[in-house]
Amino acid sequence: MDFLMLAVQILVFPGLLFMTAMGVLLTGLGGKLVARLQNRVGPPVLQPWYDILKCFGKEMIVPEHAGRAVYIGAPVLGFAVLCTAGFFIPMGGRAVFSGTADVIVVLYLLTFCSVMAMAGAASTGSPFAGVGVSREMVAMISYELPFVLILLAVGKLAGSDTGGVTFSLQSIAEWQRIHGPVLFHWSMIPAAIAMLFVISCEAGLHPFDVAEAETEICEGLLAEYSGLPLAFYRLTHCVRLFIMTALFAALFLGGLAAGNDGLAVLLLVAVCIVLTFLCMALPHGICARLRVEQLFRFYWTVVTGLALVSLVLVWFGL
């Protein structure tokens, strides 16, 4: 029975099906919102889903120089890893898995997912993909530092009852149930803003999507991809957006509607939509793509600074 329960959790809710559906929905909604901001009608909300379906049906062409195993395996494995990361994030009250340091697990798995994307791209041997790999890696270095600092700030705040730092999403949620959401503590607002930027970069959203710049490097990482693996990349992209927004919700707005699972899920969806607007539609509508070194500098100065402010404030008990 437990096993069946687990299987349902992994496959349906809050597992693969839910995450995929939410990811696609959020991406589509984001596209629509961008269009509305620019006074366009925009594509239908399900457009990403149509794209992905189409890709599934298309022929897959393995480039001449590519290593076949890595070329096909990397996107699939990347997607699997990303979904695994999702299992640790509490959605609607609780996560599929939880542990004492699941924040670090999530951090690690997100990194692993990017690595898979890079490995697949690098295996094609295309110079565009090579540049894409390099940019993806720089982007990763850029957001990793503020990300860690944000996690520490939240962990310190949520661990303040026990006098330490907690890295457990479960206990962060627990703390928020008692003390109210982390976001409502004024000292955490800089960290929350920093987290918005981290979401944008991690999910490869517009002003920060240096690795997949269509106009400069032919979509970099995806330059040589087609058919089924491409579909998986697109899917990974969508799910990543959802997972990052859900992580934001878990870190900063956890413990809302505790006890009522249905309401909690609805709230989660609402939060994710708002975040999509903030992280995807708004910057996309008003900002042009950054250069890679601008991105790096921005993250290691402004975003890191914001996260650091929160960390210092929290450390001194404010």
Partner 1 sequence: MMEMIYGQIGGAVAHFPIFAVISLFLGAFLTALVGKRRALLRRGIVFVSSLVSLVLVILMIPPVMSEGWIITYWMGGWEPVGQWAIGIGLEADALSLFFALIVTAAVFTAALYSFPYMAQDSQPENYYTLYLMLAGSLLGLVLSGDLFNIFVMIEIMTMTAVALTAFRVDYDGALEGAIKYMIVGSIGSSAVLVGIAILYSQLHTLNLAQLALRLPEANSPATAAAFAFLFVGFGSKAFLFPFHPLAADAHAVAPASISMIISGVITKCGVYGIIRLCYVLWQNMSLPAVSTAVTLIGAVSCFICVTMAFNQHNFKRLLAFHSISQIGYVIAAVGLGSFFGLEAGLFHAMNHTIFKGLLFLAAGAVQHAAGTLDLDRLGGLARKMPRTFLLFLIGAAAISGLPPFNGFASKWMIYQSVFEKAEESGNPVFILVLVLCLLSSVLTLASFVKVTQSVFFGPCRPEYAELRDVSAAMRVPMWILATLCVITGLFPGAVRNILLAPAAAAAGNPAAYIDAVFGVGTAAGAHIPEAAKASETLIGCWEPLSWLWLLLTVTCAVCFVMVLGGRPFGRTVQADDAEERRQASEKLFAGLPDPKYESFFSGEKAEFSHVGGSDLFWGFKYSLRRYFSYMRRWHSGNVNDYTRYGIAALAFMLAFAVLCL
Rounded to 10 degrees, the C-alpha dihedral 56/14/31/302 comes to -120
Minimum distance, C-beta of residue 168 to partner 1, in the bound complex (Å): 9
Q: What tokens appear for 99 in the block? A: 């542990």
Give the one residue of 169, 205, 243, 295 binding partner 1; rule: CB under 8 A.
295
- Judged by CB under 8 A, the residue of 21, 37, 104, 263 near partner 1 is 104
**Residues 222/230, Cβ–Cβ less than 8 Å:** yes
Number of residues this chain uses to bind partner 1 (CB under 8 A):
77
Stretch that binds partner 1, among 31-39, 84-92, 187-195, 199-207 (CB under 8 A): 84-92
293 binds partner 1, rule: CB under 8 A: yes
Residues in the chain: 318
Task: Map the footprint of partner 1 across residues 138-177, applying CB under 8 A.
Answer: 138, 140-142, 144-145, 148-149, 152, 159, 163-167
Query: Candidates 10-18, 30-38, 248-256, 270-278 — which segment interacts with partner 1 by CB under 8 A?
Result: 10-18
Tell the residue number behind the tokens 């979401």, with chain if given: 199
- Bridge partners for 64 per DSSP: none
d(CA 277, CA 286): 12
Rounded-to-10 torsion of CA 198, 203, 207, 213 = 140
Q: Which residue type is seen at 111?
A: T
- Is residue 196 a contact residue for partner 1 (CB under 8 A)? no
Residue among 243, 210, 212 nearest 106 (CA): 243
The torsion angle over the Cα atoms of residues 265, 52, 30 and 255, rounded to 10 degrees, is: 20
- Residue of 43, 125, 283, 285 that binds partner 1 (CB under 8 A): 125
In the complex, least distance from residue 115 CB atom to partner 1, rounded to whole angstroms? 7
Closer CB to partner 1, 91 or 292, in the complex: 292
Q: Does 200 engage in binding with partner 1 (CB under 8 A)?
A: no
Residue 221 interacting with partner 1 (CB under 8 A): no
